A and B are shown apart, each in its own frame.
Chain A
């Protein structure tokens, strides 16, 4: 047992560092190569992952670069149900407030009761607001793309910046099985 007590007296960091030995290959590389070869090509990311993924996946780096506001929550929710229902008139959901000097990360939640093979989604901004990605303003005022939707929540982060104080409406629409759904998100840009 004395050997055990000696071990316990050594700093934990030293003992953990001793675990840093290179394991023998034992066929690991060959096995990995086979799996990679069978995997096919790398996956082409969807539009929003391509444009906004770097922001969403690395906010610790992106926030300082974008000067993003914090504390913005999910705002827009589009619900799709199988039962027929008259399309509701667009109603602004809630005002999200952020300063003109910051980029807001608005998380749009496309909530579906059932999985959808393909939904055509469009997000539009009015004059006075811009999409933001990879540290720069995007020229387009709207983006449209198709993607499948899972049953439940489908969250899409959208980085937006306002040029001057005011109230603006971001429009989120989706066409699912030929049926259009539209909601507006009220964004308020304030001084600061």
Chain B
């Protein structure tokens, strides 16, 4: 049985209510979905709850999957919609108090440069996550899928159900918004990155796995 047939079999079984088959379908995607959720949840603490709610929606609606796209594209499209709905429902409510975006430079207890660097890196990551959560939702998922997760333009376009040109536009605006939130000016080094692959035909998307940078 080849890989495609394995996937088809798992999908059919999951559509029949086989939870184990559904979990096997998710196996290669859980970390990515959890990271994706982290960009939309009110806090790191809530991210896993949000991810699970989205995956429940995927399971409940799996009978709607009719091979209209690659399974992974459909999966992330449903998950993304769940995150957008959550973000909209939060928009009108008082936001959960989050940590301030200001740097929280701690001090290494022993003044160890290597430890300092590790602490700084970790703080930077937390700062980036908090900033990502403030990027307008219409640009945020493109940023996460492309820049963070390494999906191709075509994969992001399939997930977001828009043309590649719209994906590029969302990325450009999302990056600009993120830099503004971080309080950083435009980085000349980003110019090439923003226009990378412009005019380049999209690569053949993989059916089930996102692009991974080497």
Task: Give residues in A with beta carbon < 8 Å to B.
Answer: 3-4, 7-9, 11-13, 15-20, 22-23, 26, 28-29, 31-33, 35-37, 39-45, 49-50, 53-54, 57-62, 134
Contacts and interface: CB of A to CB of B under 8 A. Distances in A.
Nearest 3 A/B pairs, CB to CB: A41-B17, A54-B68, A22-B31
Contacts of B213: 17
Given A36-B59, A44-B63, A59-B161, A7 B189 contact: no
A54 B66 contact: yes
**Best-surrounded residue of A23, A29, A42 (most CB of chain B within 10 A):** A42
Decide if the interface of chain A is mainly helix, strand, loop or mixed: helix
Decide if the interface of chain B is mainly helix, strand, loop or mixed: helix
Contacts, number: 122
A19 B125 contact: yes
A138 B120 CA distance: 61
A40 B60 CA distance: 8
A35 B60 contact: no
Given A29-B30, A32-B23, A36-B56, 13 more contacts: A7-B120, A7-B124, A8-B184, A11-B187, A12-B175, A12-B179, A17-B213, A23-B34, A31-B52, A37-B19, A42-B59, A53-B64, A54-B66
Contact of A43 (B60, B66, B143): B60
Nearest to B62: A42
B107 interface: no
Contacts of B157: 60
B158 interface: yes
B62 A60 contact: no
B117 interface: yes
A56 to B, nearest CB: 10
A62 B158 CA distance: 11
15 contacts: A4-B105, A12-B190, A15-B128, A17-B147, A17-B148, A19-B35, A19-B148, A20-B149, A22-B31, A28-B52, A32-B23, A50-B64, A58-B69, A60-B157, A61-B68
